[in-house]
Amino acid sequence: MRLGVLDVGSNTVHLLVVDAHPGARPLPAHSHKAELRLAELLDERGAIAPDGVERLIGTVREALQAAEDKGCEEVLPFATSAVREATNADAVLARVKDETGVDLQVLTGEEEARLTFLAARRWFGWSAGKLLLLDIGGGSLEVAYGIDEDPDTAVSLPLGAGRLTSGWLPGDPADSADVKALRRHLRAQIARTVGEFSRFGRPDHVVATSKTFKQLARIAGAPGSGDGLYVQRVLSRKSLEEWVPRLAAMTVPERAALPGVSEGRAPQLLAGALVAEGAMDLLGVEELEICPWALREGVILRRLDHLPEE
């Protein structure tokens, strides 16, 4: 069957269309993406501004049309931290449903982490042993650990690259005092959760998902997307520690000129690098491997698991 998964995230609204059936890997058929940056469209009360709501409704309509054009039998719509934490979330969700017919399911941070973990487990398989997963989104950082498909523990922290950039790094290039303050803040947040994971022992394999980690691995020398989906891509803490001060000294246009870094993501790359560095350091990770599958694939896999057998 052809499924669409509609991901209303903090940075983008992304429709992923796949051909899938139980027991087989989902095959991407189409991708429709719009950079909405909901996390940056909040007013002083933490509500999504009227203009942001209108843009969201228009973007959802466009995604639905794309899903229909591509022959999707079902669309799985969900929203993450930007909508979840908006003070007017209920009103926004009602407007979207009234005007588009889409009932956005708001995932909790823990659900995000668990579904992303499922995708990583399916990608790497049982031979990967105990997995530690890291995912940096626009609004939050997810960490999960376990040996099965459902992790033993999963947490979500408000340490997304977009959120931190808008709240802590207003300058271009970033002010060194702001960078130090952000580094101190995020490390204190991460340190509170370390005990949740250390009690389970060292993982056999550490993996990371998200555009942020992919871009950090790319600028640190990992193969580009043109080399294919199945090429191993790794990121070491040593390389990351060398890149953080370089990124801090760059302007946004200079970051956008780096290999694999998009213009839209360049402003957030420094904050994302600081989160990645802090998480790897405090969790004792020397090297991690990039996983091509993430939350959207986890949502699809969970749906396939609940389809009746033919």
pLDDT at 21: 84
Does residue 196 register a pLDDT over 70? yes
227-237 burial: b if 16+ Cβ within 10 Å, else e: eeeeeebbbbb
pLDDT at 227: 93
Residue 308's pLDDT band, with cuts at 50, 70 and 90, is low
Residue range 20-40: average pLDDT? 88
pLDDT at 309: 59
Residue 43's pLDDT band, with cuts at 50, 70 and 90, is confident
pLDDT at 37: 85
pLDDT at 307: 74
For the chain, give the percent of residues with pLDDT over 70. Answer: 99
19-56 burial: b if 16+ Cβ within 10 Å, else e: ebeeeeebeebbebebebbbbbbbeeeebbbeebbebb
Cα–Cα distance measured from residue 265 to residue 253, given in angstroms and rounded to the nearest whole number: 11
Please check whether the domain covering 109-295 is classified as CATH 3.40.50.300.
no
Q: What pTM did the predictor assign?
A: 0.94
Please check whether the domain covering 2-106 is classified as CATH 3.30.420.40.
yes
Q: Which amino acid is at 23?
A: G
Does residue 310 register a pLDDT over 60? no
* Span 136-183, pLDDT tens digits: 999 999 999 999 999 999 999 999 999 999 899 999 999 999 999 999
Q: Are the folds of 2-106 and 109-295 the same?
A: yes
Residue range 255-266: average pLDDT? 94
Does residue 11 register a pLDDT over 90? no
**Who contacts 291 (Cβ-Cβ below 8 Å, separation ≥6)?**
119, 120, 123, 124, 133, 207, 208, 209
* Span 270-300, pLDDT tens digits: 999 999 999 999 999 999 999 999 999 999 9
Domain boundaries, the chain: 2-106, 109-295
